[in-house]
Structure 1
Amino acid sequence: MTKKIYALLFAILLMLLVFPVVVQSARDRLSGYTVAHSMPLDVSRGIPILMYHKVNPDPTAGGYGLRVTPRVFERDMRYLKTNGFHTVSLLDLADHFNRGTPLPARPVVITFDDGYLDNYTYAFPILKKYGMTAIIFVVADTVGGINSFDYNNRRQPLNHMAGWGELREMARAGITIGSHTLTHPHLAEVSPDIARQEIADSKKKLEQGLGGKVEFFCYPYGSYNFLTAQLVQESGYVAAVTIEQGLGRKEDGLFTLRRIRIRGDYTQATFLHELTRYYREPAGGR
């Protein structure tokens, strides 16, 4: 009799744990269908450039501000794939803005900041599964090490960074590697000489380690000004992204492209809202 009671209690507990997940999953699928099939996306207004950082199931790796779980990341990629979105590179975007080179229907750029090892461990297999590409902006002096730029001042827990082997493997598979400086400083707050060194020397170091060109840049902490943007261009980069929110637009300039931040606590409905919100704004909106 006691065993039957325990079995019944276990079954009830299991239902309480599983049912909310099933309901949320169904709600997410319904929300995704509604948004995807009811709204045309006018790419002449801009291209969504999604901003991720960590893709990691371990809560000790950091909060949902910078971390999405592999399950959530796959949900996002699956939605994009099944609803006609096509990932393009920043080079594709630059060619489109500069020369009018056509883009596929519903283009989207996937970006990762910092160069965490979990990008290789968890995100890379998911990207390959759905036939997608992305760009990872790497802090050059931390390759194969830890996130010293955030860990040393207690902004984030310790995280391991991708090594040269992982970066080269991803690059061979079509993942673009970009620069996120040497040490991840606030570029607008350092001297012009230090800013130039961080921008130019990181490019050289990454190119040497990868054996290929590094053509794209990301401003750490979103910290930049007119001078730093000019230094990025003078150092031979093709384009650069900020953390300012909005679509990537030609009129904003190739060296100050806006992005859309994706958090780990977004439901699929929130993800879709962020993905499409700037298309719903009046003309001229960000």
Structure 2
Amino acid sequence: MTPKMLIRQFLGPLLLPGIAVRNYLLPPYAIILLYHSISNERNTIDPVSIAVFNSHMHYLSKYFSVISLEQLQSSLYSQIPSQERSFQKPFVVITFDDGYLDNFTNALPVLDHYNFKATFFLATSAIGCGIDKRLQNKYGLKIPMMDWDHIKSLLHRGHSIGSHTSTHRTISELATDQKIREFTISQQIIFSNTGLLTKLFSFPFGDKHSYRPIDYQLASNYYDICCNNIRGKNIKGQINLLDLHRYAINGAMSFNEFKMELRGCYDVIERFRP
């Protein structure tokens, strides 16, 4: 077990009572969850088993109010003063990156069971191509992707579709004209296949090295909402719709770690870790 894992394991539970009080006193906030693959197979990207995913959704149904990204925009970015503390459950948004077929075959039935709506961010060059060639070439993984009939079915069921670029390249490493192509081509491909001009975007990789403020400012020419992969709550009065934080969830997490992640225990640990 790494030092980081030890710190998380032992400090997290100790912080929980204080974090609970802090969360209660905060203005309304939203937590955005990031999933990749929902699968019982291990040869995929950050897989969460179907049973574990179901346990996550059951937990959300009891203690959180699940909303869409569009609802987050209206709920937390309105002109209501942030000091007006709501006594409702905290908001949670469910998102998936890349466009894996198991999102449709495995995650969707669970989402339907709880009547939850999610946002699916698509790396559009891989949609409808069977196997993601990028992952096959880079990691030797043969991961089936959704096709456009799957995407249209998601839309028909009330889910949201966003762009995850066309080719899943690191935005910060690209020239400006290449960035614009990644932003616009993916948006155009989604429109041509579904009739939806999406205004939702998530940065590939999404850590602090893979995009910069100039990148989400550039993205704002095409999108209203952009998500990263940096943990943190999105708090009313402090929220930046072009730089929304997300908690990456994977199958290596225990259920207790999942709960502590949602409560923000690890936010504090990461903030003070050298």
TM-score under structure 2 length normalisation? 0.81
SS at match of 1:234: coil
- CA drift of 1:99 comes to 1.6
- CA drift of 1:218 comes to 0.4
**Is residue 243 of structure 2 the alignment partner of residue 256 of structure 1?**
yes
| AA of the residue aligned to 2:179 | A
Distance 1:67 1:103 in 2: 34
- Matched residue, 2:102: 118
Name structure 1 gaps, 5 residues minimum.
1-34
Task: Answer yes or no: is the 8 Å Cα contact 1:51–1:112 preserved in 2.
Answer: yes
- CA drift of 1:39 comes to 4.0
Match of 1:149 among 134, 155, 174: 134
Task: Answer yes or no: is the 8 Å Cα contact 1:151–1:157 preserved in 2.
Answer: yes
Distance 2:163 2:94 in 1: 15
Task: Answer yes or no: is the 8 Å Cα contact 1:115–1:138 preserved in 2.
Answer: yes
What CA RMSD, in Å, does the superposition of the two structures yield over aligned residues?
A: 2.6
Higher helix proportion: 1
SS at match of 1:258: coil
- Matched residue, 2:220: 233
Further displaced range: 256-265 or 113-122: 256-265
Task: Answer yes or no: is the 8 Å Cα contact 1:243–1:258 preserved in 2.
Answer: yes
CA deviation string 1:77-99 (max 9, x = no partner): 01111x23221111111122332
Match of 1:90 among 52, 69, 74: 69
Task: Answer yes or no: is the 8 Å Cα contact 2:199–2:224 preserved in 1.
Answer: yes
| AA of the residue aligned to 1:91 | E
- CA drift of 1:149 comes to 2.7
Equivalent positions of 1:204-283 (< 5 A) are: 204-222=188-206, 223-235=210-222, 237-249=223-235, 251-277=238-264, 281=268
SS at match of 2:150: helix
| CA gap 1:186/1:103 in 2 versus in 1, 3 angstroms | farther
Distance 1:103 1:97 in 2: 14
**Identity level (%):** 28
- Matched residue, 2:112: 128
- CA drift of 1:174 comes to 1.1
- CA drift of 1:46 comes to 2.9
| AA of the residue aligned to 2:196 | G
| CA gap 1:256/1:280 in 2 versus in 1, 3 angstroms | closer
Name structure 2 gaps, 5 residues minimum.
1-15, 81-85
- CA drift of 1:152 comes to 1.5
SS at match of 1:240: strand
| AA of the residue aligned to 1:69 | S
- Matched residue, 1:58: 41
Distance 2:168 2:181 in 1: 12
Equivalent positions of 1:2-13 (< 5 A) are: none
Match of 1:73 among 25, 32, 53: 53
Task: Answer yes or no: is the 8 Å Cα contact 1:247–1:278 preserved in 2.
Answer: no
- Matched residue, 1:21: none
Distance 1:199 1:149 in 2: 18
| CA gap 1:45/1:278 in 2 versus in 1, 3 angstroms | farther
SS at match of 1:59: coil
Distance 2:197 2:178 in 1: 22
Task: Answer yes or no: is the 8 Å Cα contact 1:94–1:238 preserved in 2.
Answer: no
- CA drift of 1:245 comes to 1.2
CA deviation string 1:60-112 (max 9, x = no partner): 335xxx1101111001001111x232211111111223324789632100011
TM-score under structure 1 length normalisation? 0.78
Task: Answer yes or no: is the 8 Å Cα contact 1:144–1:160 preserved in 2.
Answer: no
CA deviation string 1:213-264 (max 9, x = no partner): 31110000112112221121011x1110101111123525111111111110
Distance 2:251 2:155 in 1: 25
Show structure 1 runs of 4+ deviating over 6 A. Answer: none
Distance 2:35 2:106 in 1: 13
- Alignment size in residue pairs: 243
Task: Answer yes or no: is the 8 Å Cα contact 1:55–1:73 preserved in 2.
Answer: yes
